[in-house]
């Protein structure tokens, strides 16, 4: 008896999906370059909307789209649980949100990106003015008023970066779930 199920290609990217991916990549680059509290809100909103849509599709749709949504949502949850489980030490200070202390491969990749965009300067916090040619080895009499200023702030950068990683890993998990589903329906019944 011939197979009557419709054949779907394992990997098919529509033009709309490609345009969405390009827009998200551009947004990710800009949000990391200019990481701020406003960008945290925007990126967290994107991640929350994507997760909510995936859960809804996982609950009400069927077939390959449902498999994609289940893989997407599951991968995002797993990454979030791993991140939450690794990111706190005994003092409840976040480890994975510091590029120099994190252990996850995603944190290590974000460390490279952070090093490429960070701008550091020494600032006299009484006046808010930059201290040119400040020497940490020979600080001088006003050293107690001078602090290092990093832009973007590392915690904000890492928070945004981990949100984007959650989305990327969710997307890859969605494609994996879809491919498992399509392989399963193509196998002959035993």
What pLDDT sits at residue 90? 46
pLDDT per residue of the chain (190 residues) written in tens, 0 to 9? 444 445 566 677 889 999 999 999 999 999 999 999 999 999 999 999 999 999 999 999 999 999 999 999 999 999 998 888 765 554 555 678 888 888 889 999 999 999 999 887 777 667 767 676 766 666 666 666 666 667 798 889 999 999 999 999 999 999 999 999 988 888 776 6
What pLDDT sits at residue 153? 87
**The tokens 């201290």 sit on which residue?**
131
DSSP state of 151: E
Give the 3-state secondary structure of residue 121: strand
First to last CA, the chain: 14
Whether cis (ω within 30° of 0) applies to the bond prior to 96 is no
Give the 3-state secondary structure of residue 4: coil
Domain ranges of the chain: 15-132+141-186
Query: What CA–CA distance (Å, rounded) separates 7 from 55?
Result: 25
Do the beta carbons of residue 69 and residue 174 sit within 8 Å?
yes
Alpha-helical (H) ranges within the chain are: 15-33, 37-60, 63-86, 105-117, 154-186
């Amino acid at each position: 008896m011939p197979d009557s199920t419709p054949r779907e290609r394992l990997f098919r990217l529509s033009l709309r999906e490609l345009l969405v991916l390009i827009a998200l990549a551009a947004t990710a680059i800009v949000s990391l370059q200019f990481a701020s509290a406003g960008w945290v809100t925007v990126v967290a909103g994107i991640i929350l909307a994507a997760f909510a849509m995936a859960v809804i599709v996982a609950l009400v749709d069927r077939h390959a789209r449902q498999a994609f949504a289940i893989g997407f949502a599951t991968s995002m949850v797993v990454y979030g649980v791993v991140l939450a489980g690794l990111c706190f030490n005994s003092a409840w200070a976040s480890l994975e949100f510091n590029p120099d202390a994190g252990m996850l491969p995603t944190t290590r990749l974000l460390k490279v990106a952070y090093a490429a965009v960070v701008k550091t300067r020494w600032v006299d916090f009484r006046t808010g003015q930059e201290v040119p040619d400040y020497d940490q080895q020979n600080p001088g009499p006003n050293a107690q008023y001078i602090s290092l200023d990093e832009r973007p702030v590392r915690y904000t950068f890492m928070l945004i970066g981990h949100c984007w990683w959650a989305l990327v890993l969710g997307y890859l998990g969605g494609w994996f779930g879809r491919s498992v589903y399509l392989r399963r329906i193509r196998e002959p019944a035993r």
